[in-house]
Structure 1
Amino acid sequence: MFSESRVLCPQLKSKIMTAEQAAAFISDGDTVGMSGFTGAGYPKSLPRALADRAGAEHKAGRPFQINLWTGASTAPELDGVLAEAQGINMRLPFQSDPTCRKQINNGQMHYIDIHLSEVSQYAWSGFLGKLNIAVIEVTAIHEDGRLIPSSSIGNNKTWIEQADKIILEVNKGQNLKLEGMHDIYYGTALPPHRKPILMTKTDDRIGDSYFRIPPEKILAVVETDAPDRNSPFTPPDATSRQIADHILDFFQFEINKGRLPKELLPLQSGVGNIPNAVLEGLDTGGYKNLTAYTEVIQDGMLKMLKSGTLSSASATAFSLSPVALEELNDNIDFYRERIILRQQDISNHPEVARRLGVIAMNGLLEADIYGNVNSTHVMGTRMMNGIGGSGDFARNGYLSIFVTPSIAKNGAISSIVPMVSHVDHTEHDTKVIVTEQGLADLRGLSPRQRAKLIIDKCAHPDFRDRLHDYFERACATGRGMHTPHILGEALSWHENFERYGKM
């Protein structure tokens, strides 16, 4: 069907132009919604052209910055080039780019950190202001104007519907056989007009396979041929494997207790070494017909689908190594029957996660002795990446598991502290904390019971005695015995690190 060009719609062929020509439609101060989620499906050409334009404008003494919305983090070819060109005024809802991070923490870039499931609602409700232009990568355009989505969906449906005008990047580097893998749900609405989302299984399909865009909204079509950012897979290290072993033992304990079925419950997993170690352990642990309801399909999930450990996986994007991408493309007919890509207000939907009973596994920067979790702010003030989807799943999952090594910076930092310097997930949402030292199941425990368990099971031995000492002295004050603290000392560990480079 598709020959040299993947733009088959006659009405849109006349709008094909260069990225530089398309970038001219974007003005200083515009709010631009771009596709992209965890390094997949982001526009490859227009951001570079826009960054070059910003640089030229600044050199001429004229201002040029945009407000940038995406699905989540993207890649150096988008976040990186625009940040380096000083081209971003406001960024949301999640990022992981070092230049963006530096500018956010230096006060050069505004940043709004939002639960990923809520971004669409914020946009539809008008809380974020007007969306001027959407820049969306797609795989191809059919004769009748239907758009085959790319390797991520993220907030693309919302950007397409909310933006005044749209620029499309049609990427020949994406596999045409992605067609049919997507499930775009057009039934969302704002209160009081919401209807139930008719999904009771992770592999339920409730929408369409294509984006719908009125052709008159499309300003330009840019043809590209570039790969996603596919980072090499790093095998889990010894610490990650220890953490994974604690989780796997816990799963078996819960199965034996009758609190989990032998097929577990749908898995949600953050990105990184520890989740990959858990997936690797599950794949060799004799499990069959597991399911995933998550944000991102990683290397480990492809392996689990291939082995039959995982029967289906629902997400909003891929995040694959080059080797795993080759595996996906070589066997895409097999995977298309088992993978569903949805928009993120469905993949991360709190009510769906609660109904399915998701097992949520996410990372943290620090946890305190009562179970409060900081997953975003280093020393309470410096943004790392953002909350992402962890809050969507942590509060609503059947199990919310937070994982971290017990120490950081070669032992200068303890991940378990008297009081977290910033709270993203309260003690009420944290059911299990795991480090390489052990696992603390906090369900059914009072704050003082949780404190003893977290210190004994999760804290590194170098800090364990100091944590016990703090807790015992806090209890000895006799004040606030429900959640004992010594307010003058509660953040002293962080102050020590800021002054002396160690806690």
Structure 2
Amino acid sequence: MSSERILDSRLRERVVSAAEAADLIQPGETVAMSGFTGSGYPKQVPLALAERIDRYHQAGQPFQIRLLTGASTAPELDGVLAKVDGIALRLPFQADPDARKRINDGRLEYMDTHLSHVAQHTWFGFYGDIDTAVIEVSSIRADGSLVPATSVGNNKTWLDLARKVIIEVNEWQPRDVEGMHDVYYGTALPPHRKPIPLVNPNDRIGETALRCDPDKIVAVVRTDAADRNSPFNPPDAASEQIAAYLIEFLQREVSRGRLPAQLLPLQSGVGNIPNAVLAGLAASGFRDLTAYTEVIQDGMLDLLRDGTLKHASCTGFALSPEANEEFKRNLDFYRSRIVMRTQEISNHPEIIRRLGCICMNGMIEADLYGNVNSTHVMGSRIQNGIGGSGDFARNGYLSIFLSPSTAKQGSISALVPMVSHVDHTEHDVSIIVTEQGLADLRGLSPKQRARLLIERCTHPDYRDLLADYYDRALHHSYGRHTPHLLAEALSWHQRWLDTGSMQPGG
């Protein structure tokens, strides 16, 4: 591997193997690693650390770490450490099946946290000291500053607060990504905070590289390994119908003067439904849009190429292999249109509210009154985590939640009498869309919301059941403001657990 990626001669002298670097991490440490939705995470040190932990366990010796990241990472980090039972506590977000199984089996403690809170809570000391940071970068400049890779996440905070730092310099990452980042060093702790001077999604308010005291950097590891690139499936009929309802709604808002022709900055969760929505925006003739979001995925690259999107702000990428190759081939084009920020800025509630973001996120279920569960299956089994959806839902101009109306071959309804877990209260939910229709909940009382959700969003197989529950609740609940039959409110979930279907007789 070329030493051109490590231009600081002091740090070039600290190049070691991944195994030697992993030996510097001790049992019981709190370790903060880079990575956000499978981009920019360290590739080799976690593997070597997992092998070391496994050797300890084979010898009957305990070895676990507390693991903090930006968001989800990849099998080479979360997966390998989970498989050897090397993680005592994980936060703030995960999407790895091995980690998820251990969390739901009760063998791994997990703290599901709003992504905008992680950096400030670390500064506040809520998670204790950061012993070691393991950060992937694309290069090290001659002055020792660190050029981030394909995500920024919480890396600034990890480098600021960690007692010791291990750097992975990954030559797979495009060298030309330099200049795309915007690392803001103007945040402060209460009571010394000042307004963040960002008023447009493409504003640059910071630096293009990360600072780190070179004396804290104890090891540098050279790598050449790809980000985790998961292909996106083509949108199915349900996703396309959801997208169509949402595009029609946005067009109507423009015609009524409640949105400008260029809309407001878009935030989009990851997945096939958001990609279908993005494709629908282009096909519907929208132009000169902007995005202020966490993650750039395939659909946003498409919009940037065809001119639908002028520019986009994010903290990381989640690209398919094909989209990643397109990104690398045309980096000069994207560098002038994409800004990558620290996670505490990309998800900052003040900025989201100031910009008036249109926020589009997925959900597991919603109830009659618009409360949304986006994290737990049947109330107790974590899926991934709340991620940044809460940051955007509570503070955006429009808070939109998208989902097919059923799951598991129709055995589960996405609209239920009462959600089995609440991530987003009815106060933070504006719009719910399924392939059945769109419910605009703004300005409606709880009972008005219930009628609209039953009519517009519920699958026909469950519509009469939900209407029957609501009608009986109107007459027999303790109060009439938000009618519920407490003995039945979660009966649909229990029925699925007992019989495999929410349908009676299923």
**TM > 0.5:** yes
Are 1:344 and 2:348 matched, yes or no? no
Gaps of 5+ in 2: none
The offset of 1:236, in angstroms, is 0.8
The answer to which of 48-57 and 139-148 deviates more is 139-148
* Helix, strand or coil at the partner of 2:428: coil
Which residue in 2 is equivalent to 1:256?
A: 255
Q: What are the within-5 Å matches in structure 2 for residues 30-69 of structure 1?
A: 30-69=29-68
Deviation at 1:189, TM superposition (A): 1.0
1:205 and 1:62, CA in 2 relative to 1: closer, same or farther beyond 3 A? same
Whole-angstrom CA distance in 2 between matches of 1:52 and 1:478:
57
Q: C-alpha distance in 1, partners of 2:336/2:222?
A: 28
Aligned to 1:6: 5
> Which residue of 1 is the match for residue 325 of structure 2?
326
Looking at structure 2, the residues matched to 419 and 217 of structure 1 have their Cα atoms a distance apart, in angstroms, of 51
- 3-state SS, counterpart of residue 427 of structure 2: coil
Counterparts of 2:340 and 2:170, CA distance in 1: 18
Please give the per-residue CA displacement for 1:359-412, whole angstroms capped at 9, x wherever unaligned. 000000000000000001110001100000000000000000001000001011
Pairwise CA RMSD: 0.8
In structure 1, the partner of 2:418 is: 419
Matched to 1:314, the amino acid is S
Distance 1:478 1:111, change over 3 A: closer
SS in 2 for 1:428: helix
Q: Which amino acid aligns with 2:167?
A: L
Q: CA deviation at 1:418?
A: 0.2
Q: Aligned residue for 2:459? A: 460
Alpha-carbon distance between aligned partners in 2 of 1:409 and 1:234, rounded to the nearest angstrom: 18
TM-score w.r.t. length of structure 2: 0.98
Secondary structure, in 3 states, of the residue corresponding to 1:39? coil
Q: TM-score, normalised by structure 1?
A: 0.99
Conserved 8 A contact 2:477-2:485: no
Specify the alignment match of 1:141 in structure 2: 140
Provide, for residues 43-75 of structure 1, a one-character-per-residue CA deviation record: whole Å limited to 9, x for no partner: 000000000001100000000110000000000
Do the aligned residues in 1 keep the contact of 2:232 with 2:272 (CA within 8 Å)? no
**1:319-350 CA-partner distances (Å, limit 9, x unpaired):** 11111111111110010000000011000001
Local SS of the residue matching 1:484: coil
1:263-282, CA deviations, whole angstroms, 9 ceiling, x for partnerless residues? 00000000001000000011
- Secondary structure of 2:106's match? coil
SS in 2 for 1:323: helix
Runs (4 or more) in structure 1 with deviation over 2 Å come to 2-5
Matches within 5 A, 1:400-419: 400-419=399-418
Instruction: Tell me which residue corresponds to 1:217.
Output: 216
Percentage identity across paired residues of the two chains:
63
Q: Which residue of 1 aligns with 2:80?
A: 81
2:446 is aligned to: 447
- Counterpart in 2 of 1:388? 387
Q: CA deviation at 1:233?
A: 2.6
1:219 & 1:449 partners in 2: Cα distance?
61
Q: Distance in 2 between matches of 1:268 and 1:137?
A: 26
Q: Which runs of 5+ in 1 are unaligned?
A: none
Instruction: Figure out how many residues of one structure are paired with residues of the other and give that number.
Output: 502
Larger mean CA deviation between 290-299 and 233-242 belongs to 233-242
Instruction: Return the offset for 1:479.
Output: 3.0
Amino acid corresponding to residue 326 of structure 1 in structure 2: E
Where does residue 278 of structure 2 map in the other structure?
Answer: 279
User: Structure 1 residue 130: deviation in Å?
Assistant: 1.0
Q: Distance in 1 between matches of 2:252 and 2:193?
A: 39
**Within the alignment, does 1:472 sit opposite 2:440 as a pair?**
no
Instruction: State the SS of the aligned residue for 1:38.
Output: coil
1:3 Cα deviation (Å)? 4.8
Please tell me whether the aligned partners of residues 358 and 399 of structure 2 are also in contact (alpha carbons under 8 angstroms): yes
Residues 175-324 of structure 1 aligned to structure 2 (within 5 Å): 175-324=174-323
Residue 41 of structure 2 contacts residue 73 of structure 2 at CA under 8 Å; is this kept in 1? yes
Aligned partners of 2:232 and 2:271 also within 8 Å: no
Question: Which whole-Å CA distance do the structure 2 matches of 1:85 and 1:280 have between them?
Answer: 41
Return the alpha-carbon distance in structure 2 between the equivalents of residues 273 and 327 of structure 1.
Answer: 19
Structure 1: which amino acid aligns with 2:129? K
Partners of 1:232 and 1:171 lie apart in 2 by 22
Cα distance between partner residues in 2 of 1:78 and 1:259: 45
- Give the SS at the match of 1:242: helix
Greater mean alpha carbon deviation, residues 485-494 or residues 231-240 = 231-240
Q: For 2:13 and 2:492, locate their aligned partners in 1 and report how far apart those are by CA, in whole Å.
A: 62
